[in-house]
Every structure is written in structure tokens, then in C-alpha cells.
Amino acid sequence: MMEMTNYLNRQLAGVKASDILNFANFAQQIPNIINFTLGEPDFNTPEHIKQAAIQSIHDDHSHYAPANGTLALRENASTFLANKYQQHYTPDEIIVTQGATEALYTAIVSVLNPGDKVIIPTPTFPLYIADVTVAGGQPVLVNTAATGFKLTPELLAETITREGEAVKMVILNYPSNPTGVVYSPEELKALADVLRDKPIFALCDEIYSELHYDQPHASLSAYLPEQTILVTGVSKSHAMTGWRIGLLGAPQSLINELSKIHQFTITSTATVTQDAAASALGQGKDDALPMRDAYSTRRDYILATLDDLGFITVKPEGAFYIYTKIAPDLEQDDEKFAYDLAERGLVAAVPGSYFGPGGEHYLRLSYATSMAEIKQGMTNLKNYVARQRTE
């Protein structure tokens, strides 16, 4: 019999199944475990957004939406981005996508030719590597552990010089999954200066922009608008992961081209969920604030425990993840540590090395979980570490 998998797109062989998902599935089977692996808000979608969706159904908004999205949503998105972050995209410079995930895919597939290189600072959200690989591109992973998990202008310039003209894109994610690191306006300006007038796109994943704890969110799009492709959405800001609404922003000439991949892969996103998202970005422009305050309290609680235990953490300033280095006297293989912690300590935290070079010896804890769970999880962690230290 012929083995038909041999005849698939060869790029697929280069795409790994998700280690994070495997770990999360393993951890889920363990009774009474406290789960810090989740990448989505534990809050429910605000009531006015649900009501907008219900109204939309009653109004028979059951037909195809315009390919790039309903005008109401694109108008609200345009105003939201301008008022909140001084990002200036007209409604025609925005595509409504199937979550930020489709926005990333559309941008990457639209830009890359086979063999093109994409600079990805690590530790990173692994989806970027998979998308670049599927598009026939070559991910260039840049370890940022030595620079506080940030891509510096020096590292960027050095990498561009070393990798040469095949570099077509750099992917930046701030606030970052998995590290929670953010960039200041000065840091973004300096990165923009390196990229300016080079034929390189900056794909900026700002899906966590509303979850910024200590300073206002800044965007590279303010300093390098012609080369920036913005990815954002309502999944994290409005606790709407299941509604699958993302946003892609870019100058008009680029949007006209990006729209082709979007249209031919998904036609348009669901009309009802777009109506709900229009309410999120219109009436609900500050819906994230109470959630942000809750996340901030949780972050501080976990940080204090990790500090006490001798773990080393770069204080996360955004998103809802803590990336912490295992205390030096404990098991240093992060995968071994995480599996043992899950089985014997009843705490599930993702091994840091699953996020790429620079993540060895780290764990990622998501604090998108209730304070009661967090308190129990930290007690479990303390007990586990105490046992390790006396065994």
C-alpha cells in the first residue's frame, strides 16, 4: 500500500506537534492538580457583548459579512486603536480575522517566499515558528535570555547583518507570551531605527496590549508605520477567546494584498461575533480594566512566593504569564522538573524550554486562574520545594 503521508506538503514534516498541549493534556489527567498552563482568561465575556450577539441573531445577521469585516467593527476598531494607543488605521486599513491566529497566518503567508528568513526573538509563542515553516520560510531564532528577554537594537542589527538579504520579517510580541516583558517607547524607537528603509516587515503581535500593568502600551507602528503589520484582537482584552475575532492593521496598499489570503482561506468571519466585537471595542473599550487589576494582584502574589522560594523572575509587566527560573539548588532540567512537580507536587507549570532557546531552566505559569486556585497552587509549590530540599 502507498504511504500517502509521503506525498503531503514537505513543510509539514518540519512542524512539531505542540509540546505545551501534550504537557497540558498530561497534567489535566492528574486529580486535584492546580493548573497554571492555561493561555486564556478565566473571566467570562462581559454581559453587553453577549447581549449584542443575541440582538444580532434576532436581527437576522446571518449572512456573509464583507470580506474584510463589518464597517461597524472596523470603525470601532479604528477609533479604539487611535484613542488608546495612537495607532492610526482607517477602517479600510483593518481586516477582521478569525482570531489573532488567522491574522498571523495571513500576514506570514502573504509576505514570505520560500527560503525567506524571519527573525523570532526567543523564548517565543511557538505558533510563529510553525506558520513560518508552513510558508516555506526559515525561522531565525534569537535568544534574548541575556538581555532581559528583549530584542535589543544591537541584537537585531547583528542578526540582520549575519543573515543577509534573505531576512524579510521580524516578529515582535509585546506584552510577551511567555515572558510578560513589554517594550518602552524608547526601546521601540531604537528598533524602528534599525529596520527603517530596509525591506523588512515588522509583524507586531499586540494581542495583550490591554493587559499592561506598569506603563501605557506603546506600539512600533507609531515609529515605523509603513513596515509594520499589526496583529491584535479581543480574545484577551475582552475575555473572548472562543468568539474568534482578531484584527490585522497595515497601510492600505498592503491590506489590499493581505486581504487576498484572508478571503481565500476564510471568506469572512461570522457576522454575529463581529457584532459582538463591535460592542466590545465600542461600549466596552475599558472592559479590560477590572480584569487587569485582578491579574495584577495575582501576579504580585505569585511573584512574592517565587521570590521566597529562591526562583529568579524578570517581573512581568504585561500579559498574564510569569516566566521564572528554577531555584539553583533544585532540578535544573525544566521538563523533568515540570513533570515531577505536576505528578508529585500537584502544580502544572509549562517547561520553559518549550518556548525556544533561552527558556532552559525556566517555567511558565499563567495567572489567568482564580485567586483561590493560585493560593492553593502556591501552597502546593512551597510544600513540593520544601520536600525536595530535605530529601
Ligand X SMILES: Cc1ncc(COP(=O)(O)O)c(C=O)c1O
What is the distance between the alpha carbons of residues 129 and 105, in angstroms, rounded to a whole number?
Answer: 11
Instruction: Pick from 139, 246, 249, 316 the residue near ligand X by CB under 6 A.
Output: 246
- The dihedrals phi and psi of 203, each to the nearest 5 degrees, come to -95, 110
Q: How far is the CB of 390 from ligand X (least distance, A)?
A: 37
Q: How far is the CB of 165 from ligand X (least distance, A)?
A: 28
Compare residues 101 and 283 and give the one whose CB is closer to ligand X.
101
Closest residue to bound ligand X by CB: 99
Instruction: Pick from 18, 90, 101, 147 the residue near ligand X by CB under 6 A.
Output: 101
Q: Which of residues 286-305 bind ligand X (CB under 6 A)?
A: none
Compare residues 345 and 359 and give the one whose CB is closer to ligand X.
359
Q: How far is the CB of 321 from ligand X (least distance, A)?
A: 8
The verdict on 233 binding ligand X (CB under 6 A) reads: yes
Q: Which of residues 174-213 bind ligand X (CB under 6 A)?
A: 177, 205, 207
Kindly state the cell numbers that stand for 236.
484577551
What is the distance between the alpha carbons of residues 264 and 347, in angstroms, rounded to a whole number?
Answer: 43
Instruction: Pick from 80, 89, 105, 125 the residue near ligand X by CB under 6 A.
Output: 125
- Do 227 and 200 form a contact (C-beta atoms < 8 A)? yes
- Do 34 and 376 form a contact (C-beta atoms < 8 A)? yes
Q: Which residues neighbour 360 within 8 Å (Cβ) at sequence distance 6 or greater?
A: 334, 352, 353
Kindly state the cell numbers that stand for 235.
480574545
Compare residues 233 and 377 and give the one whose CB is closer to ligand X.
233
Count of CB atoms situated within 10 Å of the CB of 303 = 17
What is the distance between the alpha carbons of residues 170 and 120, in angstroms, rounded to a whole number?
Answer: 6
x/- letters, 5..44, toward ligand X (CB under 6 A): ----------------------------------x-----
Cα dihedral value 185, 190, 193, 199, nearest 10: -90
Compare residues 204 and 294 and give the one whose CB is closer to ligand X.
204
- The dihedrals phi and psi of 351, each to the nearest 5 degrees, come to -55, 130
**Buried/exposed 113-137: b ≥16 CB within 10 Å, e otherwise:** eeebbbbbbbbbbbbbbbbbbbbbb
Compare residues 237 and 305 and give the one whose CB is closer to ligand X.
237
Compare residues 180 and 345 and give the one whose CB is closer to ligand X.
180
Q: How far is the CB of 329 from ligand X (least distance, A)?
A: 32
Compare residues 112 and 368 and give the one whose CB is closer to ligand X.
368
Q: Pick from 385, 213, 173, 205: which is nearest to 299 by CA?
A: 213
Stretch that binds ligand X, among 8-16, 23-31, 95-103, 158-166 (CB under 6 A): 95-103
Instruction: Pick from 53, 73, 100, 141 the residue near ligand X by CB under 6 A.
Output: 100
Positions touching ligand X (CB under 6 A) are 39, 99-101, 125, 173, 177, 205, 207, 233, 235, 241, 246
